[in-house]
Amino acid sequence: MMDAFTPIFAGVTLTGADERTDLGALEALVAEHGELEIGLLYSEKPEDRPRYPSLRWIEKITTRLPGVCALHVCGVGARDALKNGTLSAVLHNIRRVQVNGHVEPGEIAPIAMQFPIVVMQWQPGRDNPDLESAIARAELFAGLGHQWLVDGSGGRGRLPGSWFRPSGPRPVGFAGGLGPETLADELPKIAAVAHGHWWVDMEQSLRTDDWFDLDRCRAALAAAEAWRREEAEDEA
C-alpha cells in the first residue's frame, strides 16, 4: 500500500536539446520512453552557446512534442520575460517551467500567474520563511503546483557527497553529476532518501563538444531502466 512517504520514481529529464538535435530521432526516443521529459534551456543572453536554442526553435520542438518538454528559464532576462508574459507563446505545449537560480518571495505570484507547474531550485542552508509563505499563498490562491529541484552542485554537474530531500509533500527532482556513467551507483542512493514523487535531471553529462548527444541520452535511459528492473525484481 502506497502512502505519502512511498518513493515513486516519476522518470528522467534529459536537459539541453539544441538546434542541432535530430528532432525525428528525439521523437522516436520519446515514443520509446513514456516517462521521459526533455528539458529546454532558455536564456535572453545565450552568448553563442549551443545549449540555448532560440524561442522560435523551442516553439517548433514543443509543437512536435506537446506535453513532453520542460522550459528551463536561465538568467534574469529570461525570468523577466516569463513574468511579463513574453514567453506565453511557447508555454502552450510545455509540461512545466523550471526557474533556475535564487527566487525572491516577490517573484512567486507573477511566475505562478504565467504557468501552473513550476520547479524551483532548492537552496540548501537558505531557509526562507517568506519564500515558503509566498509559495503557500500561490498554491492556495493561484493554483500553483510547486516542485523542488535539488542540485547540490549549483548546476556545475558535480555529484554531491550525499543526497538530500527537502521535507514536505511536494515532488522533488535530483540533479548534479548524474549521467550514463553514474546512474547505476547514484539511483539507489537517491531512492533511499526520496519519498513521494521524484525524478532525476541530467544536462552536462549528455553533451559532446557542447552539443546534445542522443547516444549519451540513450545510454542514460538504459542505465535508469536497468535500475528499475532490478528494483522490480527485488520487490517481487
pLDDT of residue 130: 85
pLDDT of residue 125: 63
Buried/exposed 117-149: b ≥16 CB within 10 Å, e otherwise: bbbbbbbeeeeeeebeebbeebeeeeebebbbb
pLDDT tens by residue, 16-71: 999 999 999 999 999 999 889 999 999 999 888 889 999 999 999 999 999 999 99
Q: Are 105 and 123 in contact (CB under 8 A)?
A: no
C-alpha 176: how far from chain center: 11
pLDDT of residue 211: 96
Q: Name residues whose C-beta falls within 8 Å of residue 141's C-beta, 6 or more positions apart in sequence.
A: none
Grid cell for residue 86? 513574453
Across 66-75, 116-125, 152-161, 227-236, which has the greatest mean pLDDT?
Answer: 66-75
Q: Are 143 and 114 in contact (CB under 8 A)?
A: no
Is residue 4 very low, low, confident or very high in pLDDT (cuts 50, 70, 90)? Answer: very low
Q: Name residues whose C-beta falls within 8 Å of residue 97's C-beta, 6 or more positions apart in sequence.
A: 70, 71, 72, 73, 82, 91, 111, 114, 115, 117, 118, 119
Q: How far apart (Å, rounded) are the C-alpha atoms in residues 150 and 200?
A: 9
Q: Are 144 and 118 in contact (CB under 8 A)?
A: yes
User: What is the residue type of 48?
Assistant: D
Question: Range with the lowest mean pLDDT among 16-20, 178-182, 194-198?
Answer: 194-198
pLDDT of residue 194: 93
Q: Are 194 and 217 in contact (CB under 8 A)?
A: no
> pLDDT at residue 1 above 60?
no
pLDDT tens by residue, 199-210: 999 999 999 999
Is residue 106 very low, low, confident or very high in pLDDT (cuts 50, 70, 90)? Answer: very high
CATH value of 7-235 in 3.20.20.70, 3.50.50.60, 3.40.1690.10, 1.10.1200.10: 3.20.20.70
Domain boundaries, the chain: 7-235
pLDDT tens by residue, 159-177: 999 999 988 889 999 999 9
- The dihedrals phi and psi of 161, each to the nearest 5 degrees, come to -65, -35
Nearest to 32 by CA among 234, 229, 225: 225
Q: Name residues whose C-beta falls within 8 Å of residue 117's C-beta, 6 or more positions apart in sequence.
A: 95, 96, 97, 145, 147
Q: Are 115 and 97 in contact (CB under 8 A)?
A: yes
Percent of the chain with pLDDT over 70: 93
Q: What is the mean pLDDT of the chain?
A: 91
Q: Are 107 and 130 in contact (CB under 8 A)?
A: no
